[in-house]
Structure 1
Amino acid sequence: MCLGIPGEIVEILPDRPDLATVDVSGVRRAINIGLLEDDLEPGDWILIHVGFALSKIDEDEARAALAFLESIGEAYDEEIAALRESMIEAEKG
């Protein structure tokens, strides 16, 4: 099962404005934010699926979604494990 998971933007990468470091339940990864037209900044919450930000969400919605996802157990644990193993790296140029 693949889930959309809320994450908080920690940093927009200065040399790659289409990538942001995002914290998802203590796991930090580079996430592609290029699909969003919103002006994003650290502290904003986004909904993530397979390494891409799908939408900007508010903090209350993010916390409610995280609480629900944590309550469903195994599927959430699998998604967090997949996030830990994933890597999106900025291309060196």
Structure 2
Amino acid sequence: MCLGIPGRIVSVEEDFPRGGIVDFDGLRRPVCLAYTPEAAVGDHVIVHVGFAISVVDEEEAARTLRVLRAMPDAIETELGS
């Protein structure tokens, strides 16, 4: 399964390739922003394997985080653990 994780851009570097730092609920990581040239500081992006693949609004980012947080519980319930 492949997951895209939402995060908020906290800094942008206009180098090539374009990159920045993204905050994932308190954990900050460098991310390639080349596929989201419209993304700016404060925007929320969906990140897959270190690449921002789309810009989303804050509500969508929060909704996705809620789903991801619920997944371990759903998996435990489904497996009967």
Bucket of the pairwise TM-score, normalised by the shorter protein: 0.7 to 0.9
CA RMSD in angstroms, aligned pairs only: 1.7
TM-score (norm 1): 0.70
Aligned-partner Cα distance in 1 for 2:23–2:45:
10
- Decide which structure has the larger Cα Rg and report it: 2
2:8 paired residue number: 8
Q: Relative contact order, CA 8 A, sep 6+: which one is greater?
A: 1
Which sections of structure 2, spanning at least 5 residues, go unmatched?
74-81
Which sections of structure 1, spanning at least 5 residues, go unmatched?
75-93
TM-score (norm 2): 0.80
Tell me whether 1:23 sits opposite 2:15 in the alignment: no
1:80 paired residue number: none
In the alignment, residue 32 of structure 2 is paired with which amino acid? N
> Post-superposition shift, 1:37?
3.4
> Post-superposition shift, 1:13?
2.2
More strand per residue: 2
In the alignment, residue 48 of structure 2 is paired with which amino acid? H
Q: Percent identity?
A: 41
Q: Does the 8 A contact of 2:21 with 2:30 survive in 1?
A: yes
Give the number of equivalent residue pairs: 73
> Post-superposition shift, 1:61?
0.3
Runs of 4+ in 1 over 3 A off after TM superposition: 14-17
Judge which range, 55-64 or 11-20, deviates more. 11-20
Tell me whether 1:47 sits opposite 2:46 in the alignment: yes
Secondary structure in structure 2 of the residue aligned to 1:43: coil
Aligned-partner Cα distance in 2 for 1:17–1:3:
23
In the alignment, residue 53 of structure 2 is paired with which amino acid? L
